[in-house]
Amino acid sequence: MTKLLFVRQPQVYLPEVQAYKAYLAKHFPDVNVLEYTDLEIFNAGDYDVVWHFMGLDFKGGGNYLVHEYNSLSTPPLARLKNKVKKLVNAKPDRRVFLNQTVSEAFGFKDEVPVFYRDMGVDEAFYNVEKSEQDYDFICVGGLNRGPIIRQMIAHIVDQVDGATILLVGDAPDGLQERFIGNVGVSFCGRVDYADVPALMARAKYGLNIMPDVKPFNVQTSTKAMEYAAVGMPIVSTDYQWIRSFEEQYGAKCFRISPDFSNLTRENLESFEFVTPEMQGVSWDNVIEDSKIFDFLR
């Protein structure tokens, strides 16, 4: 039996890991899949395949080594961080990138095969039972995107008459303290991934807040795709990826102006949303199309 080890940092949210495990169990039942989060002490030689979610990997090791870059480094010194990773990381047998933009930013010039695997949607988001909508907005995932999160919530509380918002995910220092006691803002912290679709069904609008700066503005918003799969209208900051999402899938999202001034209840209720079906981007389809596991055949 082939032994494959996924190596990842414990604090990073990676829904693709569970998707990979499900895909491998379905298509490669003879592969024994393990996951490791203590980056210091595992012995790579004990595994046939070692798959790193990068990060840094000075040592390499394993009979077959995969490096996956699912994002670019974040400020400050983002370019320097990318350059350091390029220079010091061990040479793998293949590299997997989120998309071509991420690949080009690192600029590897060797002969290592390159594969692209964009984000997908879990099947649970396609089969959500509609429930009573307790909230106007829900925002799932990254609540640590800088001051824009706090500014957006403050605008909704102050300017969108009677609005309620549910925030799902780890709140950075100061955010929860800023809005604690405000009847319109509810925090539920990080929840099991399996519970997210039902939470989304309790809100009218899916809120996608992303600053229009690299690398955030060129990276796939998984939550926007999940909102669409649930059938939710999407309210989003205006940036490069959300525009490409609209063009690719025929979506029509409410794009918030930089000063938030167009985000009013009247504008939302009169806006003609178009929410696309996302069946083609289920995780199973995305992984199959990417061919990232073809070496196991």
The verdict on 16 and 47 lying in the same domain is yes
The verdict on 111 and 137 lying in the same domain is no
Task: Name the percent of the chain lying above pLDDT 90.
Answer: 56
d(CA 136, CA 206): 9
Confidence category of residue 108, pLDDT binned at 50, 70, 90: confident
Q: Which of 55-59, 131-135, 235-239, 277-281 has the lowest mean pLDDT?
A: 55-59
The verdict on 155 and 249 lying in the same domain is yes
The verdict on 84 and 17 lying in the same domain is yes
Mean pLDDT of the chain: 88
Q: Which of 103-107, 109-113, 262-266 has the lowest mean pLDDT?
A: 103-107
- Tokens of residue 32, six digits: 């024994």
The verdict on 127 and 272 lying in the same domain is yes
pLDDT digits (tens, 9 = 90+) for 168-198: 988 887 888 888 888 899 998 888 888 999 9
The verdict on 93 and 30 lying in the same domain is yes
Q: What is the pLDDT of residue 2?
A: 92
Q: What is the pLDDT of residue 14?
A: 84
The verdict on 167 and 226 lying in the same domain is yes
Contact 136, 153 (CB under 8 A): no
The single-letter code of the amino acid at 164 is T
pLDDT beyond 80 at 114: yes
The verdict on 96 and 35 lying in the same domain is yes
The verdict on 138 and 190 lying in the same domain is yes
Q: What is the pLDDT of residue 180?
A: 81
pLDDT beyond 90 at 289: yes
- Nearest Cα to Cα of residue 260 among 137, 154, 172, 180: 154
Confidence category of residue 132, pLDDT binned at 50, 70, 90: confident
Q: What is the pLDDT of residue 207?
A: 96
The verdict on 128 and 270 lying in the same domain is yes
The verdict on 197 and 227 lying in the same domain is yes
User: How much is the average pLDDT of 207-219?
Assistant: 87
pLDDT digits (tens, 9 = 90+) for 150-172: 899 999 988 888 899 999 988 88
CATH number of the domain enclosing 44? 3.40.50
Q: What is the pLDDT of residue 143?
A: 78
pLDDT beyond 80 at 88: no
Domains held by the chain: number = 2
The top-scoring range by mean pLDDT among 55-69, 72-86, 279-293 is 279-293
Contact 128, 232 (CB under 8 A): no
pLDDT beyond 90 at 41: no
Q: What domain range includes position 104? A: 2-120+283-296
The verdict on 64 and 195 lying in the same domain is no
CATH number of the domain enclosing 154? 3.40.50.2000
